[in-house]
Amino acid sequence: MEAASHKIGEIMDIACRAGKITLENGGEIYRVEETMLYICRGFGMKDSECYATPTSIIVSISDTMGEVHTRMIRISSRGINLRKVEAVNVLSREIMSSSVSITEAKTRLTKINNTPAYPLWLTTLAAGTATSAFTIIFGGGLVHFLFGLIVGAVLNLAIALLNRIELGYFTTNLFGGAIAAFGGWLLYFSGSITNWWIITFAALMQLVPGLLFTNALRDMVAGDFVSGISRGGEAFSIAAALAGGVAITLMILTRLGLG
């Protein structure tokens, strides 16, 4: 009896950690719920339920004695690291086909959580090339392409710094919008380009919540209404922060007579 409930605690711990990693790194709601159920069932807990929203996970397992064990965890950080999502997905499938022991699952989860992300220089370069590519898609020329590389890279570095000092998502995005607007304006003011918006918009593509909003509607269509509303609200707040940053910056520059 003692051993059994101890085991349930460990299974819940594994399921919760797997769900947390998936949700914190950009996994979909259905994937989080599916992953946790796979893990519970794979370890022999047939009678289990899981409910996830973008900000919390609740898992409940009833043991053979009919006693119900429940655990709730709060999710506060949300980023995108698809490598971790993929690794947890693979692990849950292996647990489902019951070839993984509890201890092994624990070590593998710790290992997944500590997987190094791409180094900062590489993501900065990627942010630069992404911005450059978007300037061309938005109808810019070679000048936009080259300056886009710089503005995109600077914005990525600035965001990495703001994330490190943990300013919170709203202020971070507010500053992100301001930096992108200032970069575009600086190049316009110095006469390098004839319009500020191509570079600003292209640089902002790395922050803009288009994917988040699409996922929100995807949740809605799939019937996950709570998470659909929640993600939609998150997307709107991020867009508001970015637009606020751009608007305030341009307003100040105009008032200074530099617009």
Partner 1 sequence: MKNVLFAAIAATSFGILFNVQRRNLLFAGINGGLGYLFYSITVAKGFESYVGMLTASIAMSVFAEIVARLRKAPASVFLAVALIPVVPGGAMFRFVLSLLEGDYELAFTYGIQTTLEAGALAIGIIVVSSFTKVLIRKFKQGN
Contact positions toward partner 1, by CB under 8 A? Answer: 26-28, 31, 80-86, 89-90, 117-118, 122-123, 125-127, 129-130, 132-134, 136-137, 156, 201, 204-206, 208-211, 213-218, 220-222, 235-236, 239-240, 242-244, 246-247
Measured from the CB atom, the residue of 50 and 246 that comes closer to partner 1 is: 246
| For partner 1, the closer CB: 8 or 33 | 33
Q: How far is the CB of 10 from partner 1 (least distance, A)?
A: 26
Looking at the Cβ atoms of 6 and 83, the one nearer to partner 1 is 83
| C-alpha 55, offset from chain centre | 12
Buried-exposed string 61-98: b where 16+ CB fall within 10 A, e elsewhere:
bbeeeeeebeeeeebeeeeebeebbebbbebbebbbee
Name which of 69 and 93 has its Cβ closer to partner 1: 93
CB of 82 to partner 1, least distance (A): 5
Element (H, E) at 96: helix 82-96
What span, in angstroms and rounded, lies between the C-alpha atoms of 14 and 238? 32
Could you tell me whether strands 48-53 and 68-74 are parallel, antiparallel, or unpaired per DSSP bridges?
A: unpaired
Nearest approach in angstroms of CB 162 to partner 1 is 16
Instruction: Tell the smallest beta-carbon distance from residue 126 to partner 1 (Å).
Output: 4
